[in-house]
Amino acid sequence: MASRGGGNSNQMKWSQPMEKFFLQRVLQKVRSNIPFQTYDWEDIDAEIQQRFDVCWGVNRLKLKLKKDKMAFEKFTALINRTGAGWDPLTRTISADDDFWRPFCQRGSVLMYNGFRKHGLPHYELLEEIFGKTAVTGAVRRASTDLPPTSSKGRGIEKRLRTPCIGRSRAQMNLEEETDSLSTPLAH
């Protein structure tokens, strides 16, 4: 018999395969660049019910994603702190006890202890769902790159602000257009 979304939440647990399936479905929707609607959540819930025989309900799915986002943000902040390393084999944060001590004294002790021992399950999926957009092409700039020349920067800025007739900005290929932008603009 399927568990219903209205039951006691302590009786229902997210298994790793169920959580991965849920996040993969959310990622598919995120990639479509179309905002979530109630029927999207209902579809995901129906697919989880069909596959895992558990019905969470729309509100619980939204809450699950909200909690996943909070965990992702905390885990990412830990990774980015000075003194933290990344162990690709165990997929956990490698740091000494002094690094972990302040986090284990806060209200989220269980979460941080989980991060310390097990990392964050499905981190790659969460990173793709919640992570910042990466810029590629002519407008990309690594922290080790020198700032663009003023003429090149003005040229790219002008091309991005100029209305594109017949094609969207997303279709513009700035890689091939950067050569023409390296010459100074006439005022």
pLDDT digits (tens, 9 = 90+) for 70-110: 999 988 888 888 788 878 788 888 888 888 888 777 666 77
Residue from 102, 68, 47 nearest 39 by CA: 47
- Return the residue matching tokens 């830990």: 78
* Single-letter residue type at 121: P
Radius of gyration of the chain (CA): 23
Boundaries of every domain in the chain: 16-130, 149-181
Range with the poorest average pLDDT among 58-72, 74-88, 113-127: 74-88
**Residue-averaged pLDDT of the chain:** 75
Looking at the predicted structure, is the pLDDT value of residue 164 above 90? Answer: no
User: Residue 2 has what pLDDT?
Assistant: 47
Is pTM, for the whole model, over 0.75? no
Pick the closest to residue 91 from 116, 74, 70 (CA basis): 116
The residue behind tokens 């991005």 is 160
Q: Does the structure show a pLDDT above 60 at 133?
A: no
Is residue 37 left, alpha or beta, with left meaning phi > 0 and alpha meaning psi from -120 to 50? beta
Instruction: Name the band, by pLDDT with cuts 50, 70 and 90, for residue 184.
Output: very low
